[in-house]
Chain A
Amino acid sequence: MTKLSTDLIDRYLQAVGFWLPRDQKQDILAELSEDLRSQLEDREEEFGRALTESEVADLLKKRGRPIFVAGQFLPQQNLIGPALYPIYVFVLKIVALCYLIPWLVVWIGIMIFDRAQTAVHLSREWNSLGTIWTIAFTQFGVITVIFAIIDRVSVKSPCMSDWDPLKLPKVKIETPAKRSFNAVCGIIFGIFGLVWLLAIPDYPFLIIGPVAFLVKGAPIWQTVYWPLVALAVAGIFEHVIRLLRPDLTWFPPTFRFATTLLSAWIVNALLHTQTYVLPVSPQGAGVAAAVNLSILITSGVLAVLAVVGLVVYGWQAIREIRRSMQPRALHLA
């Protein structure tokens, strides 16, 4: 063995040793050194000559990076063990839902429904992005540390093994009868709603009660009335399909995604108008202002719900479409 080979092996062993625990370091390195030298001698005997520096380097490269080699000797540790990991992921999801999703929804909502101020909002939101991510990462870090501590403490805790199978919740089954009943109810109430909606132009008190004598609908309703009727018809249609073809699991979320898009368009139109009723007499001015304000607030809430609906139904539709495209055997499994 040449001096160059010995030097290269020593350097390799030193690099491995850096990552090893102090109490075992010398012992492990001595054994690795012996193994390497034996292998080198075998190779030299095979070739009938001393190995070149690059051949020794190749041999060491095959062994792996020093950190990887040392890592094999360290005890295998998890920050959060398999028993707690599903709960940890669940908590992270809940935190994301409670913190990030509402922020995203409001942000997207503002972008969609208040396009006139988009540039201003974008600049403001961009500036606040750093703070939001800092808070998100802090939450992630704190949760991870808490779970790591719980994992260390509770591994041997009796509560991890002491549980009662009899206390498990009952299996939730939506029977075909219950599903059909829900669909029939949906159709009946949908028809009532449609009739009510169709009657409103002739009988406005159906929607605003006695104040119908003080105020009248603003022109915006001429724009959104038929889309609202279309939404009511679509609702009935969805329940009919659910009743006749319960196997089309992709249909409800996909259809709802489409109807929510239409709802978002209606809400967008309402938010941009801000005048929904006009007074028919001077006494009606105060009433008109109150009704306009309440519809504006309701539209704002509906805008947020529409964005949430688009995200949820979009996700459900993609999931169900992908499931329906999978082979039957896998789907059943």
Chain B
Amino acid sequence: METEVFENLRLELRRGSLTIAVLAQLRTELYGYALRKALADYGLAIDENTLYPLLRRLETQGLLVSHWREEEKRNKRFYRLSPQGEIILYQLLNEHEAMHAAIDRIMAPSLPPQAVSITEPEIDTQEKEQLQ
């Protein structure tokens, strides 16, 4: 039961991170299999049944561009990040970093849980201006 709950949550957590990883890796043009190997080399193994549908979805959303090209006597579909994909990637990276930092602060051993819950969250200047 616990394993199943963990597995579901892990998949949920991975889903967003994989998108960022794929977008980041495709700053360099790669075909599907090479992308899979590159991600695995970085320690992020991704199932082909997850990768290819994800690539198509990202392409439909305009974040990737692709074309067929012959390489080593075989036709391969190469993907790379589109200009719009670059903007989205950096937005996602910022969001990821902010979330990571927030979790770090919440988990900081110096702060007891009560202190965390009553501490005013840090709001950046832009957000403060929007609130005002």
> A interface vs B, CB < 8 Å?
28, 30-32, 34-35, 37-39, 63-64, 68-69, 72-73
Contacts and interface: CB of A to CB of B under 8 A. Distances in A.
B52 A39 contact: no
B3 interface: no
B117 interface: no
Given A30-B68, A35-B48, A72-B53, 18 more contacts: A28-B52, A30-B77, A31-B32, A31-B77, A34-B31, A34-B32, A34-B76, A34-B77, A35-B32, A35-B33, A38-B33, A63-B48, A64-B49, A68-B49, A72-B52, A73-B52, A73-B53, A73-B56
A265 B31 CA distance: 77
B33 A39 contact: yes
A150 B19 CA distance: 33
What is the interface of chain A mostly: helix, strand, loop, or mixed?
A: helix
Which A-B residue pairs are the 7 nearest by beta carbons? A38-B33, A72-B53, A35-B33, A72-B49, A73-B53, A31-B77, A35-B32
B128 interface: no
Given A30-B75, A34-B75, A34-B77, A69 B49 contact: yes
Nearest to B76: A34
Interface string B37-52: 0000000000011101
25 contacts: A28-B52, A28-B56, A30-B68, A30-B75, A31-B32, A31-B52, A31-B77, A32-B48, A34-B31, A34-B32, A34-B74, A34-B75, A34-B77, A35-B32, A35-B33, A35-B36, A35-B52, A63-B48, A63-B49, A68-B49, A69-B49, A72-B49, A72-B52, A73-B52, A73-B56
Interface in B8-34: 31-33
A24 B106 CA distance: 46
Contacts of A38: 33
Chain B interface category by residue count:
10 to 19
Contacts of A69: 49
Nearest to B56: A73
Nearest to A73: B53
Contacts of A73: 52-53, 56
B32 A72 contact: no
Most buried by A among B50, B52, B68, B75: B52
A63 B56 CA distance: 18
B50 A34 contact: no
Contacts of A68: 49
A37 B74 CA distance: 10
Contacts of B32: 31, 34-35
A118 to B, nearest CB: 43
Nearest to B68: A30
A32 B31 contact: no
B33 A34 contact: yes
A37 B56 CA distance: 20
A69 B49 CA distance: 6
A68 to B, nearest CB: 7
Interface string B59-99: 00000000010000011110000000000000000000000
A72 B75 CA distance: 23
Contacts of B36: 35
B33 A72 contact: no
Contacts of A63: 48-49
A30 B31 CA distance: 12
B99 to A, nearest CB: 24
A261 B93 CA distance: 65
Contacts of B53: 72-73
Contacts of A32: 48, 52
Contacts of B48: 32, 35, 63
Nearest to A69: B49
A306 B75 CA distance: 75
Most buried by A among B50, B53, B68, B76: B53
Contacts of B74: 34, 37
Contacts of A30: 68, 75, 77
Nearest to B34: A38
A201 B25 CA distance: 92
Nearest to A38: B33
A72 B50 CA distance: 7
Contacts of B52: 28, 31-32, 35, 72-73
B60 to A, nearest CB: 10
